[in-house]
Amino acid sequence: MSPRELASVADLGGTEFRHEPVLLHQVADWLALPDGGVFVDFTVGGGGHLARIAEISSPETELYGCDRDEAALAATRSRFDKISNSSTDSDSQLKELFHAPFAGCVSLLRMRNIDRIHGALFDLGVSSMQIDTPSRGFSFQADAPLDMRMDTTQAAGAAHLLNSATAGELTKIIFDYGEERRAKRVAQALVNARQERPLETTGQVRRALERELGSPNLTKTLARVFQALRIAVNDELGQLSEALPQVADMLAPGARMGIISYHSLEDRIVKRFFASRIGACVCPPRTPVCVCGARADLRILTKKPVTPNQKEISANPRSRSGKLRVAEKLSVDFRPGESA
């Protein structure tokens, strides 16, 4: 297996966790810790990025990984076990893996008296393992239960949402999170279908939309509807908005945080967050007094987002929408109006 293939496959007790880390080398080049410190991967997945960070950081670096998906954590554990078995360095750099959402991970770090971190990564969205496991219900390519929970211990999945939300709520989810112009029609088609029989499978959703909208552009609409449901089931945007300031607050002076987003909704949150922390006010126009808490304690290192090149996109088409943005913590923190 080539090094690239090795980075994409982690063994999961007989089954393989396949996920090709996006912008692998660029992420490591921006975020590795040559002088050691604490690095936290908040979306550790199968550990592809984290393993590369480990490889080029100082051996003293302490690594922590976080994920809402227990299968992902098992894959990372197995990847690092293999690395430490094949290395003469018996003391693994991987200190702990947390089964928690972003904010829970921040609390767990603080409970271990880790209040300062030196590098952080968010590689947002879902892994290929999650999309390609039909029983997880993330894909409309297979007929499977409507689940879509990243954390399979979470109570309610997509079926509950689809069968309990009002037509208005579904329209809003599909419009806001899927950016689907025909959201109202799509929501009504789903409500009509569930009146005949509760929606339980991805195939039922596909057939309901096919009946209402016909075949042209169906795949694009399904992709947008599935993205919307996934974002809602996992509160993806809420989690991101909550976590970014918490993680930035933990960065030591000179430490970096990198975020790979895969759609405009995520990227907008990242851009607005960075803007609010370089001192730019992001209050809505005509707000009389700044209430957004803009302060300057970060410096943006990527003026334009780093994106995959054509070679990476050809090898891994799922990387095509990836955008990496990196910021660095300043050593002095000032608010607009104060002198720096």
Ligand X SMILES: C[S@@+](CC[C@H](N)C(=O)[O-])C[C@H]1O[C@@H](n2cnc3c(N)ncnc32)[C@H](O)[C@@H]1O
Interface residues with ligand X (CB under 6 A) are 19, 21, 43, 45-49, 66-69, 72, 101-102, 123, 125-127, 150, 236, 239
Q: Which is nearer to ligand X, 234 or 276 (by Cβ)?
A: 234
Q: Tokens for 183?
A: 């959201």
Q: Which is nearer to ligand X, 26 or 171 (by Cβ)?
A: 26
Least spacing, CB of residue 187 vs ligand X, in Å = 25
Task: Give the nearest residue (CB) to ligand X.
Answer: 45
Least spacing, CB of residue 39 vs ligand X, in Å = 13
Q: Which is nearer to ligand X, 37 or 45 (by Cβ)?
A: 45
Q: Which is nearer to ligand X, 69 or 297 (by Cβ)?
A: 69
The angle formed by the CA atoms of residues 10, 14 and 19, to the nearest 5 degrees, is 25
Q: Which is nearer to ligand X, 182 or 258 (by Cβ)?
A: 258
Q: Are 143 and 203 in contact (CB under 8 A)?
A: yes
Q: Are 71 and 45 in contact (CB under 8 A)?
A: no
Least spacing, CB of residue 161 vs ligand X, in Å = 17
Q: Which is nearer to ligand X, 189 or 247 (by Cβ)?
A: 247
CA dihedral (45, 51, 52, 53) positive or negative: positive
Please choose, from the candidates 11, 65, 16, 61, the residue with its C-alpha nearest in 3D space to the C-alpha of residue 34: 61
Q: Are 82 and 94 in contact (CB under 8 A)?
A: no
Q: Are 34 and 58 in contact (CB under 8 A)?
A: yes
Identify the helix (H) or strand (E) that includes residue 271: helix 264-277
List Cβ neighbours of 285 (8 Å cut-off, separation of 6 or more).
none
